[in-house]
Every structure is written in C-alpha cells, then in structure tokens.
Amino acid sequence: MLEAKKEVHEDESMTRRKILKAACCAGAVAAVSLTALKGKADAASETYPQVKVGNIKNLTAGKTLKFDYPLAGRKNVLVNMGCSVEGGEGPDKSIVAYSMFCTHLGCGVELDKESGMLVCECHQSVYDPKQSGKVVEGPAPSHLPMISLEIDKNGDIYAVGAAGLIYGLRNNLLDGEEVR
C-alpha cells in the first residue's frame, strides 16, 4: 500500500514538473515574440518630426540651447561640449542633445557648467553628456534619452529622433502636440 501511494505521488510530481516546464517555455517564447513584434511595430509606426533647433555658428563650446521636441512642452537641451563625445554631431563631434526630464521622477535637468554634467534639480542624479547621457550618480534608473541630430551644409542643426523613452510618456509621439 505504501509503495502504491509513492508511485502515485511520483506520477503527480512528474506531471506538475512537465506542466510547469511547458508553462515556463511558453511564457519565454511569448515574451520574446512580443518584444520582437513591439520593436518592429515601433520602428515602423514612429516617424519623428525634423525640427530646426539652431545653427553651429551660434553654439560655441559650453553653450546650451533649450528646445521642445518631439512634442510641445517636452524640454531638451542642446550642448556643444567643446570636444569629441559619444554620439556627438558636427565637425568636432561635440554637439549633443538630451531630454531635460530626469529618468528618476521627471524633475528638470540642467547643465552644471563647472563639472560639465547634467544634474537633476530634485534628487541630484548626475548624467554624463560625454557618454551618451549615462547615469554616474544618484537614484535615476537609466540614461537620459538622447535626441538624434542632423546638421546640414549650412550648419543648421535639426532634431530628428529620440533614443529612449522620455519620462512620463508611453510613447514619445503620443499624447501631445507635435513641434514643427
């Protein structure tokens, strides 16, 4: 009688294991599939506006320029770092732009001229604009979204996209008025 109970228990364990294993595999496949489909859908459906934000002639080393992009009220900062930087544009690869919304709680971010870092005014998260907006200190969970730039032959600087989700948005192009 004891052996019969043991066999039934082992059969149930195997069934539970098989079910759990199948569920985990199915979940993993679904997660990978949804992630791949989401990336394809976003890339296909998101078309960022091309917006002129300044000219190289007016953006000397260390100077900043604030602008809205991709939606009205979504503040960004354009900076000439004065040296070649990760993701930089222009003849010296020194011009970058970032969202001014901290990835921690959405407070404002400003360039600290002394350190050359972008610093959150609320909780002092510090981002390095020379390293693609990487978090170097503070509670921010991720880098600042970088605004993609293009510069034409006249030196006009255009915002043409955003790498990363801007704080507070489900999608960088929804729920707001597009900047033109």
Shared domain check, 157 and 99? yes
**Catalytic residue of the set 104, 130, 166, 167:** 104
Whole-angstrom Cα distance, residue 147 to residue 50? 11
Shared domain check, 92 and 58? yes
Shared domain check, 129 and 101? yes
For the question of residue 123 being annotated catalytic, the response is yes
For 56-165, list the strands marked E by DSSP: 64-68, 75-80, 95-99, 109-112, 117-120, 126-128, 134-137, 146-151, 156-163
Shared domain check, 55 and 39? no
What is the H or E stretch that residue 53 is in?
Answer: strand 51-55
**27 located within any domain:** yes
Looking at residue 31, its pLDDT comes to: 46
**172 located within any domain:** no
Shared domain check, 99 and 60? yes
Total domains, the chain: 2
With beta carbons less than 8 A apart as the criterion, state whether 96 and 111 touch.
Answer: no
Looking at residue 167, its pLDDT comes to: 85
**Catalytic residue of the set 9, 123, 131, 178:** 123
Whole-angstrom Cα distance, residue 167 to residue 23? 34
Cis bond before residue 70 (omega within 30° of 0): yes
Looking at residue 26, its pLDDT comes to: 58
**23 located within any domain:** yes
Looking at residue 179, its pLDDT comes to: 75
For residue 124, give the CATH number of its domain: 2.102.10.10
**176 located within any domain:** no
From 163, 154, 142, select the one nearest 70 (Cα to Cα): 163
Looking at residue 169, its pLDDT comes to: 79
For the question of residue 143 being annotated catalytic, the response is no
With beta carbons less than 8 A apart as the criterion, state whether 68 and 77 touch.
Answer: no
Looking at residue 41, its pLDDT comes to: 28
Would you give per-residue pLDDT tens digits along the chain (180 residues)? 555 555 555 545 567 767 666 665 555 544 444 433 333 223 334 689 999 999 999 999 989 999 999 989 899 999 999 999 999 999 999 999 999 999 999 999 999 999 999 999 999 999 999 999 999 999 999 999 999 999 999 999 999 999 988 888 777 887 677 777
